[in-house]
Structure 1
Amino acid sequence: MNAAGEEGDEGPVLSVRGLSVRFLLSGGRQVPAVTDVGFEVAAGECLALIGESGCGKSVLASALLGLLPGNAQAAGEAWVRGLDLVAADEGTLARRVRGRLVGLVPQSPAAHLTPVRTVRSQLAETIRALADGGVVTVEGAAERAAFPLDHLDRYPHELSGGLAQRAATALALVGDAPLLLADEPTTGLDRDLVDHTVDELRRHVDAGAGRALLMITHDLAAARRIADRVAVMYAGRIVELTDAASFFGEPGPRHPYSRGLLDALPDRAFRPIPGMPPELSALPDGCAFAPRCSRATSSCATLPPATDGTACHHPHLLEDLRA
C-alpha cells in the first residue's frame, strides 16, 4: 500500500483510515473512544469536525499528534506527507510532526503555554525553531492572531482565557505547517474575535499551496463561516460527512443527529435533542443514536453502514428535507 499524501503528489494533506482509540482500564475493561474513523482533508480545504462534548473529537486530535495518555491504545492509519502519524514513535513526532507537519491550536491553551515564560519569549523560541529562516517577527506573529502587542511581556497566568487562546493560535501559525489542527480554537472568545480567529485560520490554508485545516468545534457558526466540508461525530464514530454548503443550507443534513444539532441552534428551531449521549463504556451493538432518535426502528439494533457519507438506516431523503 502506498503512503498517502507524499510530498509533491496530488493526494490529500491528511488521510485517516480505520482510526480507533481504546482506553484500557483496570480489570481488562476497554472503553472505545474513537471507532473506525476514516476521512481525508485535501489541500486548500477546511474540514470541520463537529459533535456534542464527549463524542471523541478531542481524543481523535490527540491520536493524530501522539498525545494520548498512557492507558490509550490507537490503531489504524493517519498519513501526512508520507508519514503515518499513528505508527510514528515519540522522537519522530517531536522532531518532524508537532509544529512542522501539524500545527496545533489546543483546546486548553493555559495548559499548553509554559507558565514561567512570557508570551514574547515563547513566540521567539518557536520562531527560531520553526520559521526556517523566514522573515518572521514576534510582533508579526502576535498580530496574525490578534494578540495585543502590549501583552507580549506578560506570563500566561496574567492572561484571560481569550488572550491565552490567541497566544496559542499565534504559536500554532508560526511554522506554516501543511496541516493545521485546531481543537476548539474559539473557546473563550467573543463573537468578533471568533470571526477574526477562524478567518485567520482560513487565510493560513489559502495563503500557501498544500495546506489544510482540520477544525474540531462545537461552534456551528464558526464552522459555517469557513468550512468546505463537515464531519459529524457521535459516540466515537463519523455518522455524516458532507459538503458544508448543503449541510448548513439546502438540502440540509441527512442524519437525524446532524439535523438535531442544527435544530438546537437559537436561530433555528431552538429545540434540544432529547436524551443524553450514551456512555462510551456501554455502547449498544447497533446505532448508538437510536435511543434518542424519532426515526428508529428494529433495524437500528444493527450497526448502520455508511452510504453516501451517512451512517444511518433511515436517513432523511431529499424529498423529506425539501418538504
Structure 2
Amino acid sequence: MRGGRHVAAVTGASFDLAAGECLALVGESGCGKSVLASALLGLLPGNAQTSGTAHVDGIDLLAADERTLARTVRGRRVGLVPQSPAAHLTPVRTVGAQLAETLRALTGTPRRETAAATVAAAGRAAFPADHLDRYPHELSGGLAQRAATALALIGDAPLLLADEPTTGLDRDLVDRTADELRRHTDEGRALLMITHDLAAAERIADRVAVMYAGRIVELTGARPFFGEPGPRHPYARGLLAALPERDFTPIPGLPPELGNLPAGCAFAARCDLVSERCGTRPALLSGVACHHPPAAPGDRTGNDA
C-alpha cells in the first residue's frame, strides 16, 4: 500500500534458477527489481503483501516465518549483496569485526583462525585489508559496496541475490567483482544479479530477464540477448540501444507509475510498434511478452503483426 492505494510492484514474475547459473535481472529504476529481491528474503515493509511460491532448498521463502528466515535462510541458504550497503552495515562496528562475526556464525571459524580468515574474506571482494579497522561511515560508497559483497559471500549460500553489486565501483573493480560473483556461481551456486550495468551482466550472465513496470517482459539466454539475434521485446531492444557503445539513443518517454498501470501493454505509450492489440496485456509466451515480437530463431510463423 502507498498513500492508501494498492501498488502492484511486481506481478506474475516466474523463473527458475539452477545451481551454477547466473540470471541477470535488468530494467529501469523503479520497475520492481529490488522489490522482488526483498520479497524473497522477507525484507518488505510490514504493509506489503506477497503471494505465490519461491523455493530454495525445500523452503518456500514467501511462506516462511521470520524465525525461519532469520535462522536458516538469510546468509545460509540465501546471501544478499544489498542495494544500499551502508544502510546494512552495523554503524558502530568495524568492517573487520563484522566479517569476523559473520565467519564465526556461518562457518564456525575458530577464534584463533579468525584474523587470517577475515583478511581472506575481504580479499574475495577486493576490500583492502588495511581498511578492516574502519567503521562504515569512514568508507566511500565503493568500499562500502565491497564490504557488503564480502559479507554476502562468506556463507557460500546456494543462492546469492546481488542487488546492484557494482554500484560506485570503477570499471576495473566492476570487472573484478563480476568475476568473483561468476566464480561463486561456477562452484555450483545460483546467482540472481539485479543490475543496471548491462556490461557486467554481459560479462557473467547465463540468462537475462528484462523487467518493465513490475513484469518480466523478456526471458532469454545472455548470448542471443547481447549478440545475435538480439532482444525480442521493443523495450529490451531500447535498453541496449541506449548504451554509449551502441546507438546511444534513449528510450523516449517515461515508464508508467506502478500505482497507475494501463490495462494493456505497459510499454505501449513508448513503443513505435503500438497497435490496437496493445490495449490488452500480452502474456509471456516463448520468452517474450509482446504482441509484435520478431520471430524467434527457428520460428516459421514469423511476426504476428
* Pairs within 5 Å for 1:284-303: 284-303=262-281
* Pairs within 5 Å for 1:241-280: 241-280=219-258
**1:91 aligned residue:** 67
Partner Cα distance (2:52, 2:283) in 1: 19
- Give the number of aligned pairs: 295
* Pairs within 5 Å for 1:116-155: 116-133=92-109, 137-155=117-135
Q: TM-score, length-normalised on structure 2? A: 0.94
- SS across alignment from 2:259: helix
User: Any stretches of 5+ residues in structure 2 without a counterpart?
Assistant: none
* Pairs within 5 Å for 1:3-22: none
- SS across alignment from 2:183: helix
Partner Cα distance (2:236, 2:143) in 1: 32
Pairing partner for 1:54 from 30, 33, 40: 30
Counterpart amino acid of residue 145 in structure 1: A
Partner Cα distance (1:237, 1:222) in 2: 22
Partner Cα distance (2:212, 2:287) in 1: 14
User: Any stretches of 5+ residues in structure 1 without a counterpart?
Assistant: 1-23
Segment of structure 1 superposing worse, 49-58 or 302-311 = 302-311
8 A Cα contact 1:44 1:205, kept in partner: yes
Partner Cα distance (2:163, 2:129) in 1: 24
Q: Does 1:177 align with 2:157?
A: yes
Partner Cα distance (2:223, 2:2) in 1: 41
Partner Cα distance (1:175, 1:169) in 2: 11
**1:103 aligned residue:** 79
- Of structures 1 and 2, the one scoring higher in RCO (CA 8 A, sep 6+) is 2
Partner Cα distance (2:8, 2:51) in 1: 11
Give the Å deviation of 1:77. Answer: 0.7
Partner Cα distance (1:193, 1:113) in 2: 20
* Pairs within 5 Å for 1:12-51: 24-27=1-4, 29-51=5-27
**1:17 aligned residue:** none
**1:213 aligned residue:** 191
Counterpart amino acid of residue 248 in structure 2: F
Give the Å deviation of 1:133. Answer: 4.8
Counterpart amino acid of residue 63 in structure 1: A
Give the Å deviation of 1:132. Answer: 3.9
Q: TM-score, length-normalised on structure 1? A: 0.89
Pairing partner for 1:202 from 169, 182, 191: 182
CA RMSD across the alignment: 1.5
8 A Cα contact 1:256 1:316, kept in partner: no
Pairing partner for 1:225 from 200, 203, 207: 203
Counterpart amino acid of residue 129 in structure 2: L
As a proportion of its length, which structure holds more strand? Answer: 1
Give the Å deviation of 1:261. Answer: 0.1
Partner Cα distance (1:206, 1:243) in 2: 17
1:202-251 Cα offsets, whole Å, 9 max, x none, are: 101112x3x11000000000000000000000000000000000000000
Counterpart amino acid of residue 237 in structure 1: R
